[in-house]
Chains A and B, each alone.
Chain A
């Protein structure tokens, strides 16, 4: 079996927020069409502030900056985006 494509969503998941639900759904819609298994995890912005963040971010094949500012940690979000930008990691911010 093909290994799952792993997508990390940087953001503070709020189940009642339609845009968050829709972000998960859009990824699964696309993965089903491409016939690839998908693993999605939300990465809370405060967890991206510290020195351990790089190790967390490297686990993912692609990174998304979620909608829904203000974030719990604006710095954490900026660090995450900076990682994607400077390390040439597939990234979208919507």
Chain B
């Protein structure tokens, strides 16, 4: 983004550019003892994104456990830097971003690991492991070639 002092408000650095700030709204299902974003939220996954191809549709709901999120004032700059929003909350808040052109680069505010179960692994982690498996194959091919 070329903002040298970009920081998270959580770090209290005194920076003029907090690109990550405390969430303004609590989730409706917030847990009594939990942070602002805790419990479940319904999301819209944006078509044409990697996340959409993983989730197989636009409607999703996920578990959260956090207090901070993207400062929406910087949304245009995040996009200009190449990040693409791939999920939004009910009020349009940024809930996941990804990097088009990268083999697999997704960051989420929600935590898919909180709803994975041994009998029902989360598709997000299945997709990530599949990407890691594919990546390892391309790497080992490359290093074999390098030896010849």
Residue positions of A touching B, CB distance < 8 A: 3, 5-7, 18-19, 22-23, 25-27, 29-34, 36, 38, 61-62, 64-65, 67, 69-70, 74, 84-85, 88-94
Contact = CB atoms under 8 A, between A and B. Distances in A.
B contact face: mostly helix, strand, loop, or mixed: mixed
Contact of B102 (A32, A34, A61, A88): A88
Interface in B56-103: 65-66, 68, 99, 102-103
Contacts of A6: 132, 136
Nearest to B102: A88
Contacts of B132: 5-7, 61-62, 90
Interface of B: 8, 10-11, 65-66, 68, 99, 102-108, 110-114, 116-118, 120-122, 124-126, 128-133, 135-136, 139
B135 A61 contact: yes
B129 A92 contact: no
Given A26-B121, A32-B118, A61 B107 contact: no
B31 to A, nearest CB: 11
Contacts of B11: 70, 74
Nearest to A65: B107
Contacts of B139: 61
B113 A94 contact: yes
B122 A26 contact: yes
Contacts of A62: 104, 128-129, 131-132, 135
B107 A22 contact: no
Given A26-B125, A32-B121, A61 B111 contact: no
Contacts of A22: 111, 113-114, 116
A69 B8 CA distance: 10
User: A-B pairs with the 8 shortest C-beta distances?
Assistant: A62-B132, A26-B116, A26-B113, A93-B107, A29-B121, A30-B125, A61-B132, A22-B113
A20 to B, nearest CB: 9
Nearest to B117: A29
A30 B131 contact: no
21 contacts: A5-B132, A7-B129, A18-B114, A19-B113, A22-B114, A25-B118, A26-B113, A26-B116, A29-B122, A34-B126, A38-B129, A61-B139, A62-B104, A74-B11, A88-B102, A88-B103, A89-B103, A90-B105, A91-B105, A92-B124, A94-B108
